[in-house]
Structure 1
C-alpha cells in the first residue's frame, strides 16, 4: 500500500441530507472483489484526520471519509446530536451515495457511531473496524467511597454546564489552538505527529456558525445505547485496533469487555495513543487492508 508520508490534498464534495450540507471525500476506484471503505472521525475531528489513511489505502480500495453532521465542513444546525442521528446519516450516505454495503472504520466517537450503524442498520455494513472506540458499557463502574462534597460538586457542575453561558465559556477555552495542542500532546504518544496542520484542522471548524451549540448539545446529550447491547445485535466481522498508550481509556481492559460480548472479533494493540490511525498510519492501513481481504 502507498506510504502516507507525503499526503496530497483530497478534493471533497457535498451531499444534501435532511436539508443539511454534508461534506465527504473519496479516493481510489471501486473494486468488484472487495467492499468500499468509509472512515468516520471522532469528536472535534473531521475527514482531515484520515488524510494519511485515504492516501495509504486508496491504491487497493475504494475509500471514502465523511464529516458527521455538526463537525468538520458539514453543516452545524441547532439540533439534538446523538449516536442515533449519526447512525442514520451514515446509513443514508452508504445507501444513497456509495450504493453498496461498506466496511465502516471509526475512531473514538466515530467508532461508537459506526457500531450503532453496523448493529442497527446491518444491511448497509459489510464489516466494522473500531479504533479506540468510545461508548458506554452496562457494567457498573466500581463505587467510590462516599464523599458528600464530591457528590454535591458533581451535581453542581453538571447543572452548571446545562446553562448556555457556561458551556459557551468552556467551548471558547477548548477551541483555542494552545488548548487543542495541549490535548493532542496528552493523547498522542508520538509527539512528532502533532503538526500545525493537524491543530489547524481541528481549530478551523470551531469557527463556523453553530459550532458552539453543537458542542453544547453533545455535552448535554444523555449516553446512548450501551455497547454490549449493540454487540448483541451485531452480525458482521469486527476488527478492533487499539492504541495501548491511550490516556483516556484502559485499552486492554476495554478490549477484554469487547471480547466478552463478541468473542469472534480480531484485535491488535499498537504503540500509540488515542488516534493510532494518525500516529502509526502505515501499521493501521496494513491491518485494515489485510483484514478486509480476508474477512469481508
Structure 2
C-alpha cells in the first residue's frame, strides 16, 4: 500500500487506501475493488458517511475537530470520490456491507455512525443489519424516511439520464448552471441555499464512468415517483439506540417534514433543526454541528444490544405513530408515509 497522508493511520487491508491517493495496493482488493477512506484521531470510533455524488471531502473541515476525541473514519463509498466505480451493486444494503468491511479491516468492533442524505440511509441500514456494531446514529438530512425527493433527482432516475448528465460537461454548461443556482440563491429559494454544494456535484461527474456509477446509485434508491426504498417501517427497532436527527428547515432535496416523521417513528430520538439551512446543515453552521455531535456522543451511552431485546421488538412489531394525535395535514402525511413503507422497504 502507499503511505497514508500525515496524521492518517495506514490501511491494514489491500482493498482500502487513504482517500485522494492515486495508488493501488500490491495485493488484490477485497471483492476486487479499491475503496478509499480518510482516518484520523484516537478514541471511540465515529464513521462519517457522505451523500450521493459526494465524497469524504465533504467532511474535511470537520474531521480535525472531531478527531480530538474520536477515531474518525470517512469512506468514499463505492462509485464515489477516489474509490473504484465498477458495474456493481450500489444498493444501501451493499453500502452497509462495505462499511462493515472497512470497520473490520481497521479492527473496529463498533462505532457511532453519522450519515448525510444517502449516507443517512446507509447508516440506518447498517444499524438494521448490524445492530450489535452500532453504538449511536446521527442522521443528517437523511434519505429513506419518506417518499418525497427533489424533482431533479427523480428526472435523473429516468431513461436517458446519461445524455442529460453528459450535457452538463459541454462547454459553457457549467457556467449556465452556476448562473441559475446563483439566481436561485439571490431569490432566496430553498434550492439556492445549497448552490455551492450542488455545483460541486456537477464537477464530481467528470467522465462516463463516474456518471454511470452516480446513476446506478440513484436508481437503487429513487424512481420517477420519489424515494423508492425506506427504513421508516423499521425505525421502531432503534428503541434503546441513541439517535439524533439533524435537518435544515429549508432542505430542497429531502424536505424537513421527513425529519418530523422519522422523529415520531424512532422511539427516544432527538431532533435538532437548523434554521435557514438547506440540505447541508453541517456546512451552513459547522460550529453548531460540531457542538451537537460532541455533546451527543459524550452524554449518551452506546446502545446495549441484545438478541432478546431485538426479538421482543420484532415480535411486537411497529406501533402506530399518529394514533391519538391531532388530525393535521402533517400527521396525515406521516401516516401515509408509514402505510407506504412496506412496499418500499430496503432489504
Preserved contact between residue 181 and residue 199 of structure 1 (Cα < 8 Å): no
The residue correspondences of 1:96-245 to structure 2 (distance < 5 A) are 96-137=105-146, 161-162=158-159, 166-174=160-168, 177-178=174-175, 179=177, 187=191, 189=193, 194=196, 202-203=201-202, 205-207=204-206, 210-221=209-220, 225-235=229-239, 236-245=241-250
SS in 1 for 2:34: strand
Q: Mark the structure with the bigger radius of gyration.
A: 2
2:260 aligned partner: 256
Q: Please state if 1:246 is matched with 2:251.
A: yes
Q: What is the Cα deviation at residue 203 of structure 1? A: 4.9
Q: Cα 1:180–1:93, aligned 2, differ >3 Å: closer, same or farther?
A: farther
Q: Distance in 1 between matches of 2:115 and 2:178?
A: 21
* Matched position secondary structure for 1:214: helix
Question: TM-score if structure 2 supplies the norm length?
Answer: 0.66
Q: Return the offset for 1:267.
A: 1.4
TM-score by length of 1: 0.76
Q: 1:54 to 1:13 in 2, by over 3 A?
A: same
Correspondent of 2:66 among 44, 57, 63: 57
Quote the Cα distance in structure 2 between the aligned partners of 1:160 and 1:294: 41
Q: Secondary structure at the match of 2:74?
A: strand
Are 1:79 and 2:88 matched, yes or no? yes
Equivalent pairs, count: 260
Give per-residue Cα distances to partners, 1:95-140, cap 9 Å, x unaligned. Answer: 22252201000110111111110122112211110001111548xx
CA RMSD in angstroms comes to: 3.2
Matched-pair contact (CA < 8 Å) for 1:111–1:131: yes
Give the alignment partner of residue 19 of structure 1, picking from 32, 36, 52: 32
Distance 1:207 1:60, change over 3 A: same
Aligned to 2:271: 267
Separation (CA, whole Å) in 1 of partners of 2:283 and 2:234: 27
Distance 1:190 1:254, change over 3 A: closer
| Pair 1:66–1:181, CA change in 2 (3 A) | farther
Q: How far is 1:159 from its partner?
A: 12
Cα offset for 1:279? 1.7
Match of 1:293 in 2: 298
CA separation of 1:51 and 1:168: change in aligned 2, threshold 3 A: same
Report if aligned partners of 2:40, 2:63 keep a CA contact under 8 Å in 1.
yes
Displacement after TM superposition at 1:10 (Å): 7.4
Q: Secondary structure of 2:113's partner?
A: strand
Cα distance in 2 for partners of 1:119, 1:70 equals 23
SS at 2:115 equivalent: strand
